[in-house]
Amino acid sequence: MSYTLIIPTLETERLILRAPGPQDFGPFAEFYASPRADFVGGPLNAEGAWRMLAMEIGHWTLKGFGRWTVTVRDSDTAIGMVGLFDPEGWPEPEIGWDLFNGHEGMGYATEAGGAARAYAYDVLGWQTAISLVKPANTGSARVARRLGARHDGDFTHARHGTMQIWRHPAPGDLTGGGMEAYA
């Protein structure tokens, strides 16, 4: 027996944000086995990566929103996970991004993060959002700044340690970044 969960697909100029699924496990597990995953709860072995992928999919069921698998338009191969996250213990709903090995530094996180934020504000009605960034993760801090977020203090999590809170502009403070920009 299977359960069908409706997860919307978002499209940007270069990217497709689609439902995560078992076809994404290879790139997902490779990323989570790497030292780069230290910023997001890794490194993890294959079983841990599988559990993490299951959590990503389950978040959609529990919250009605979650993170999407990111692909470039001409391929269905996962290059990252970007989207909305609000697990137990988080201070506020978050916009997060993980780009898999070899896909960082191309503006994909900023592009996908903007689409996810537009969805949160325009479709879900969020009035605020944060991104949590480990202090050593300067690449993620740059993405947050490019999205207009500002450093707004720190948050200490029992498992993940101290993370910087990056506060995104409120919906009324954005211009030209709504869902219509990503249709």
Q: What is the 3-state secondary structure (H, E, C) of 85-138?
A: ECCCCCCCCEEEEEECCCCCCCCHHHHHHHHHHHHHHHCCCCCCCEEEECCCCH
Residue boundaries of the structural domains of the chain: 10-182
Q: Is 65 helix (H, G, I), strand (E, B) or coil?
A: coil
Helix axes 46-63, 25-33, angle to 10 degrees: 120
Region class of 95: left (phi > 0), else alpha (psi between -120 and 50), else beta: beta
| The predicted structure's pLDDT at residue 54 | 97
What are 124-149's pLDDT values in tens digits?
999 999 999 999 999 999 999 999 99
pTM listed for this prediction = 0.93
Q: Is 143 helix (H, G, I), strand (E, B) or coil?
A: helix
Element (H, E) at 38: none
Mean pLDDT of the chain: 93
pLDDT band at 176 (very low <50, low <70, confident <90, very high): low
How big is the chain, counted in residues?
183
| The predicted structure's pLDDT at residue 129 | 98
What are 14-68's pLDDT values in tens digits?
999 999 999 999 999 999 999 988 888 789 999 999 999 999 999 999 999 999 9
Region class of 176: left (phi > 0), else alpha (psi between -120 and 50), else beta: left
φ and ψ of 44, to 5 deg = -130, 150
Domain 10-182 in this protein, CATH class? alpha beta
C-alpha distance across the termini of the chain, in Å: 34
